């Protein structure tokens, strides 16, 4: 066989692990309680309604649904996103400020492609979303990490980081029910973040697929809504509120940036799926997504409660954990334990799976953290799984 290695770009590192793929594989084992993948509960996905909407959409839109469309995405879908989803986060936007993407994951990729040269500095939270690290990696950024507390990114650390690295390309944050920590950035910190970004002339990437999954039905204003200077690139997605399988997310940003996204999108894959864009459009016309989200959040809230209660009941003294106000994730710190090394035993002996926190630290380091996703399991399974984890840790 032809040896491809000499042909590869320097952006590729061979080897490395396939953690996400492994998590998905583990989740398919019915014996195992997996707190791995951060995905919506299957029973909350609106199968019937989507099927009905599809039939109606094919009747209404016909062959248009199966053909190419443009790289910005469907205008009426962008209009819906602006007026129905972003308005609820205080963002004032029109369809023109939006480009449809294949999930917000693609937003991260296009941001890397548009902004990063080898060795550029970017500021990320510690911990941060591992999928972002994975996507940025081939562009070889230099990471500056900023610690978090219960209110999100620590602003004194951020300011020091900006002072020391005034050429930073952007600050990447997951402000709402963060993946992986479950932490939400406070309003005061959001304002401070915008002020600092403005002062230092640095872009903010606000990656917020979970922002509508608050358990108190309160929504924090988006960071983008607090800036009137075009500094914030806001990424959103239908993945967590409706369906990840349709692969429809979006970017909302200033006009210059949206134009660049359109071109990068055209080069990457022409456009997102026409078919699922029309399916969504029809679904959103015929159904009340706000109500669905509300109902789902009640379910996720019960699961969060089950998770946090079980953690409080059963964990040994060397374990601390967050209590998220929304989203899918609890974050554990297990003093003195290497959670990556523990994972094999967790799967084989305790029959549970989790994501070791290690992959969430851009510059490596912390080996004693765990991300638990409670979104997919019933409360009794969650309790059962947490108790098994507690036994293992004791």
Residues 114-133 that bind ligand PLP (CB under 6 A): 129, 131
How many helices (H) and strands (E) would you count in the chain? 12, 14
| Touching its own copies, residues 204-263 (CB under 8 A) | 229-231, 239, 243-247, 254, 256-257, 260, 262-263
| Phi/psi at 21 (5° precision) | -60, -40
Most distant pair of Cα atoms in the chain: their distance: 61
209 binds, among ligand PLP, its own copies, none (CB under 5 to 8 A by kind): ligand PLP
Mask for 66-85, x = binds its own copies (CB under 8 A): xxxxxx--------------
For residue 209, state whether it binds ligand PLP (rule: CB under 6 A): yes
Q: 215 and 325 in contact (C-beta within 8 Å)?
A: yes
174 binds, among its own copies, ligand PLP, none (CB under 5 to 8 A by kind): ligand PLP
- Of 65-73, 149-157, 342-350, 351-359, the window that binds its own copies (rule: CB under 8 A) is 65-73
| Touching ligand PLP, residues 158-177 (CB under 6 A) | 174
Which one of residues 127, 152, 214, 249 is an interface residue with ligand PLP (CB under 6 A)? 249
Which runs of consecutive H residues, i.e. helices, occur in 168-314? 187-200, 255-269, 274-286, 289-314
Which one of residues 30, 117, 119, 291 is an interface residue with its own copies (CB under 8 A)? 117
| Centroid of chain to Cα 240 | 9
Helix, strand, coil in percent for the chain, rounding step 5: 50, 15, 35
Give the side-chain half-sphere CA count within 13 A for 143: 23
| DSSP result, 119-132 | T-EEEEEES--HHH
Mask for 182-201, x = binds its own copies (CB under 8 A): -------------------x
Residue 186, classified by CB atoms within 10 Å of its CB into exposed (0-12), middle (13-18) or buried (19+), is middle
Q: Which is nearer to its own copies, 57 or 220 (CB)?
A: 57
| Phi/psi at 280 (5° precision) | -60, -45
| Touching ligand PLP, residues 13-42 (CB under 6 A) | 38
| Touching its own copies, residues 5-24 (CB under 8 A) | 7-12, 16, 18, 20-21, 24
Which residue is listed with tokens 């990320």? 124
For residue 282, state whether it binds its own copies (rule: CB under 8 A): no
User: Given the rule CB under 6 A, which residues bind ligand PLP?
Assistant: 38, 103-105, 129, 131, 174, 179, 207, 209, 237, 239, 244, 249, 270
């Amino acid at each position: 066989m032809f040896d491809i290695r000499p042909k590869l770009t320097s952006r590729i590192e061979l080897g490395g692990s396939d953690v996400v793929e492994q998590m998905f594989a583990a989740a398919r084992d019915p014996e195992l309680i997996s707190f791995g993948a951060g995905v919506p509960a299957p029973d909350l996905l609106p199968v019937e309604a989507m099927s009905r909407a599809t039939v109606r959409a094919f009747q209404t839109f016909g062959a248009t649904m199966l053909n190419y469309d443009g790289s910005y995405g469907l205008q009426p879908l962008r209009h819906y996103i602006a007026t129905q989803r972003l308005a609820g986060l205080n963002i004032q936007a029109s369809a023109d400020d939006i480009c449809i993407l294949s999930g917000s994951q693609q937003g991260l990729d296009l941001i890397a492609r548009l902004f990063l040269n080898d060795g550029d500095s970017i500021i990320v939270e510690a911990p941060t979303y591992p999928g972002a690290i994975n996507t940025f990696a081939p562009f070889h950024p230099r990471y500056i990490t900023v610690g978090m507390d219960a209110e999100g990114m620590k602003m004194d650390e951020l300011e020091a980081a900006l002072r020391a690295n005034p050429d930073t390309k952007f600050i990447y944050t997951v402000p709402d029910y963060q993946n992986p920590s479950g932490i939400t950035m406070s309003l005061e910190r959001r304002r401070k973040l915008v002020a600092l970004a403005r002062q230092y002339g640095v872009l903010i990437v606000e990656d917020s697929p979970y922002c509508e999954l608050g358990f108190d039905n309160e929504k924090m204003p988006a960071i983008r809504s607090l800036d009137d200077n075009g500094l914030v690139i806001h990424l959103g997605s239908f993945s967590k509120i409706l369906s990840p399988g349709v692969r429809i997310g979006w970017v909302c940003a200033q006009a210059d940036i949206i134009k660049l996204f359109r071109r990068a999108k055209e080069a990457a894959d022409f456009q997102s799926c026409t078919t699922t864009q029309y399916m969504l459009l029809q679904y959103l016309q015929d159904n009340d997504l706000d109500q669905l989200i509300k109902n789902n959040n009640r379910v996720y809230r019960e699961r969060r409660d089950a998770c946090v209660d079980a953690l409080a009941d059963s964990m040994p003294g060397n374990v601390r954990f967050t209590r998220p106000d929304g989203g899918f994730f609890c974050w554990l710190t297990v003093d003195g334990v290497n959670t990556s090394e523990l994972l094999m035993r967790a799967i084989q002996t305790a029959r549970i799976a989790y994501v070791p926190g290690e992959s969430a630290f851009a510059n490596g380091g912390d080996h004693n953290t765990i991300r638990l996703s409670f979104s997919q399991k019933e409360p009794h399974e969650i309790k059962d799984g947490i108790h098994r984890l507690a036994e293992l840790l004791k």
